[in-house]
């Protein structure tokens, strides 16, 4: 049995980002990319399972009515908000992340070879969100940090 999901006008919700398939988001691809982004205010209930959201101008190309399956309740926390201006989103809804600092070094030992890795901190991310990257690739792209 499905549970009935209802929201009220003026509630804040997260919107699912799955319609933006094949777009690099937050330096993760596929299943590791965020499932919900930013809180949006509900302007109106359109039908039994659809809501009209208040979208920012930079998302004016996206339809502003969403089914409840695309929404999840938002519980206010200032650290959840990522401004579109802060990450400099391009018109095609992609952005380039910038390496800020190298946090750690490690070597992944496989049966026949060793792979040097580094844990890096990206701009607009916390240290817990640091990612392990191939050291060779990072040296090529960000030689000034080595």
Write the burial class of residue 66 (CB in 10 Å: 0-12 exposed, 13-18 middle, 19+ buried). buried
> Are residues 68 and 135 located together in one domain of the fold?
no
> Are residues 125 and 62 located together in one domain of the fold?
no
34-38, 82-86, 106-110, 123-127: which is most confident: 106-110
Name the residue among 63, 70, 68, 61 with its Cα closest to residue 45. 68
pLDDT tens-digit profile of 57-104? 877 787 888 888 778 777 766 666 666 566 666 777 676 777 888 899
The position carrying tokens 């018109």 is: 91
For residues 53 and 43, the answer to whether their CB atoms sit within 8 Å is yes
> Are residues 68 and 16 located together in one domain of the fold?
yes
> Are residues 109 and 43 located together in one domain of the fold?
no
> Are residues 82 and 20 located together in one domain of the fold?
yes
Band of pLDDT at residue 56, cut at 50, 70 and 90? confident
Q: What's the number of domains the chain is made of?
A: 2
> Are residues 70 and 35 located together in one domain of the fold?
yes
Q: Is residue 46 part of a domain?
A: yes
Which domain range does residue 35 map to?
A: 12-87
Write down the mean pLDDT value for the chain: 77
């Amino acid at each position: 049995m499905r549970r009935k999901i209802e929201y009220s006008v003026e509630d804040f919700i997260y919107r699912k980002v799955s319609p933006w398939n094949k777009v690099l988001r937050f330096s993760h691809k596929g299943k590791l990319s965020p499932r919900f982004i930013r809180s949006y205010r509900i302007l109106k209930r359109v039908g039994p399972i659809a809501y009209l959201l208040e979208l920012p101008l930079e998302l004016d190309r996206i339809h502003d009515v969403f089914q409840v399956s695309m929404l999840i309740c938002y519980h206010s926390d200032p650290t959840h908000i990522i401004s579109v201006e802060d990450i400099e989103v391009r018109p095609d809804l992609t952005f380039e992340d910038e390496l800020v600092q190298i946090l750690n070094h490690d070597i992944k030992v496989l049966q026949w070879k060793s792979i040097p890795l580094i844990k890096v901190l990206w701009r607009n991310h916390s240290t817990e969100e640091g990612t392990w990257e191939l050291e060779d690739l990072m040296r090529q792209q960000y030689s000034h940090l080595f």
